[in-house]
Amino acid sequence: MEFHANHGCLECEQKDGNLFIVDFKAAYWLKKPSLTDNIHDAADYGIVFKLIRDEMAKHSDLLEHVARRIIEAVERKFPEAFAQIKVTVSKRNPPVGGHCDWSRITVFSQDPVRAIKNGKIPAL
């Protein structure tokens, strides 16, 4: 998903904004929607997109913060749906004092290493 947003610590980032890419991945229990073929039994991807769009419209200094807010918004809307959520937020040409096409941060809804070791969460 692509968004123009004003995330960043620097005044120029907050004023001019930048291109951001959000990659949303989730693992969830599919038994009911796979049997019923009913959208009401599944997480609606359109609603997930709107939640992400709304969070991207709110300023954050840090990509980590906006990624965490996205996870929290999705979990509030679909509290029982997802076993694990992974959100990657990428910023085009971050102001790092040299050539850098993208900066990226990935945040998980749970600690993926511990969850996989315990056999509870599929790897995303």
* Catalytic residue ranges: 91
Cα separation, 69 vs 9, in Å, equals 17
Cα separation, 107 vs 92, in Å, equals 18
Provide the token pair at 104.
């990226």
Residue with structure tokens 């929290």?
72
3-state DSSP assignment of residue 26: strand
Provide the token pair at 69.
């807010």
